[in-house]
Structure 1
């Protein structure tokens, strides 16, 4: 993907969203502005070729890039994906409405497409029979210039000179500083569920160039798609949320008691949408049967606090029985499950909560506390444990899995400290267990 910027000006009030699923209500939405990198190709020479109407004859093309399938109609569960393909002389944008074709739309693969429709600058493919493989010895030479133009992000100054109704793709960064021009981005409906903040990098696909009251805009439409750069940290929500939010369960711990009398129980979980992941505290352990890895659920009536989604009632979680799939990118799964590097923890803000597996190098028992030293190939850090967790039999040389340990500091010493909802487990020899 190309690397260019979408930006939020200091005068704007946030990413422009509208939760009305029918159309944007501009009077009730916030706004963002976009900006492109100096290195991206010029939009005026990088436009896709357009065809109109029904075309039966096959054309051979090479797949340049493709999005993950996504649901564009939440009511009927209709799904699609976008792609960019090219001949040796031109490139096309494609909408594919049969997601089973994803296994044919592989970058660098040559395919033949037929019986397609040209509409508003896109080739639209509705059936599996419209795409076929070609001879394995077939070659196509796509010039670097054509590839750059097909993958490039337009500059904002070039967008202002384009025809209204043009559809724009590009990768941008939402920011508060505008160096090369700004443009408003309007998002409504299903795309408002994407948590976008200044500094996030977004890829916009199929956004319509339009204007309203002399203000130029990129506006989301029915087939628009937004992809956030895969986050390294869990997303955070604050306060009470009615929801619902549709997520896939990535992992869940066993229930454990978090008070000294053994009367209060909970478990931790990690869940994800197709663009971000969340850490969850569940205080009704009967819900464990729903928090099964790869199970798709909806959560509602939850509270966001200190980087966690807190679920207190069984009524807040329901299973999804519509056979809709969620495609969680492999990179997102890896980051959701990853153990942070110790040297990176030193640069993180105090008060965040850390999960991960670490090697124990030292142990020091002091009255009601146990002090461990953990290490990896980037450094060492102190872990402070108190209360019920001091009963865990852990010694130097063990691998220790930590959940919900607070990053803090004491007399200029950075520590991971156990809190009320923390848990820990010694990994068996040679074991790197799932959470």
Structure 2
């Protein structure tokens, strides 16, 4: 669905009915066994499955996403949500005010008129025609249907996740989860959209600082882990660091925006130094050039320690996945860069399942072996002396950025309701 330029206004809703703030609660979700987890690669696998689950919804759809575009995918999402709301399903959709800042008021009004509970996360008006609300974004991509099906990963609702988009189509991943772990994802999604939830008992609320490896070897184990600007600022980074320190045989990380802090870089390097096969799959044809330049600042440091680096060159890589040894995997929205590790609201699922790990490894191995350029110390890109000097200074500034950002004041995130009476005047 397209909109005229006059309709392309930044939505800055006024507080119609009040909406609760996203909950800043100290919850660390635990591992649950006996789950079914399916890898969904790219929009070709993800969109049909998530739209079908929405079409079959009987009572509730919860949606959080960073980006919705008014293209064929956005139009289908709009139609599916409107149909669900009209047949009595309670639909709550939370869109990020920056990522969805170009949606027309007509697109949003059609959802609201149909009964969709539509919320904008940190919307802001443009200044001199430029959006300024760049940081601390709602970057999660979560869908929960009837408290039974949960979808979580890196795929936005936009046509650039489909191969027929062309050379700029993104390579990306999500998962579908069914089983006991969905209750935690559902609980988390309810809290974040301001919906009331049943109080949890003390043994469900207590923080669980258990080792990633200190539980049974049964497959189907799933745990939700998230990053916020409150009590869980480093949870996702700490999970990566812990499994890197305990890895024994192999580590594969495929990440679109790779520029972690020094501690995580050091753990990657140290894993390779003690004989673990460490493979990084990074962007070779980025959608943002700065992502490629930033990642390449780390190449010498990692390559000299034995880390294998592959640049995926077929199209932009947008995935945020990793696996360790033969049973641990993660899929989610979190990049390994300063924005995701220090500012944005993110969510990943951790998976202990040999079958899932094996399938993900096969898919990533095909990607690296057949669609990537292998980097080495000899062919790692180097610039002129002044490029190297600037790169050195930027690298040593940004490597500490995740820690420094934690000292900065975090604004209180807020949701604003969009209703049928909410309109923006054309600019």
| TM class, shorter-length | under 0.3
Larger % of strand: which? 1
Larger % of helix: which? 2
If the length of structure 2 is used for normalisation, what is the TM-score?
A: 0.26
Greater RCO, 1 or 2 (C-alpha within 8 Å, sep 6+):
2
If the length of structure 1 is used for normalisation, what is the TM-score?
A: 0.26
Larger radius of gyration: 1
